[in-house]
């Protein structure tokens, strides 16, 4: 029979607050596929993830918890009936655009010829 412990009562360890989430967390929160999630990044609905590699299991996308807040907001607004374009404007007004993917710079168009060669602006 084991001896009873006496003394100070044990205290539970404090959990660290989450500072990031993964792609699976966001896809479950939004109810969309991973491909749709990255489309939302391109449409500037979500902030871009941080790509992290531990050198063994490949590259994983870490998202800030702000992305989870964005996801909750998107779900709420879609339930109300807003379109993604309208939600994009609301997200920009609420959180700004500093953490979003920048729009590509307008420049010379690249043309691909039938034989696969590319040439800059004709």
Q: How many domains does the chain have?
A: 1
Arithmetic mean of pLDDT, 14-24:
77
65 vs 100, more confident: 65
Q: Determine the pLDDT at residue 53.
A: 87
Buried b / exposed e along 23-37 (16+ C-beta atoms within 10 A): bebbbebbebeeeeb
Inside any domain, residue 15: no
Residue 2 is predicted with a pLDDT of 61
- Does some domain include residue 87? yes
Range of the domain at 78: 31-95
pLDDT exceeds 60 at position 117 = no
Cβ–Cβ contacts within 10 Å for residue 100, how many?
A: 20
The verdict on residue 58 lying in a domain is yes
% of the chain exceeding 70 in pLDDT:
69
pLDDT at 83: 93
pLDDT tens per residue across span 75-101: 999 999 999 999 999 998 988 877 777
**Residue 79 resides in a domain:** yes
**In a domain? residue 75:** yes
Q: Are 71 and 32 in contact (CB under 8 A)?
A: no
């Amino acid at each position: 029979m084991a001896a009873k412990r006496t003394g100070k009562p044990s205290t539970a360890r404090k959990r660290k607050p989450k500072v990031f989430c993964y792609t699976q967390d966001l896809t479950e929160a939004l109810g969309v596929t991973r491909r749709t999630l990255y489309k939302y990044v391109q449409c500037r609905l979500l902030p871009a993830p941080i790509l992290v590699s531990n050198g063994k299991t490949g590259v994983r996308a870490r998202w800030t918890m702000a992305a989870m807040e964005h996801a909750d907001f998107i779900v709420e607004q879609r339930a109300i009936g807003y379109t993604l374009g309208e939600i994009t404007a609301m997200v920009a007004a609420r959180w700004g655009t500093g953490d979003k993917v920048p729009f590509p710079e307008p420049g010379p168009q690249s043309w691909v010829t039938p034989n696969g060669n590319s040439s800059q602006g004709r």
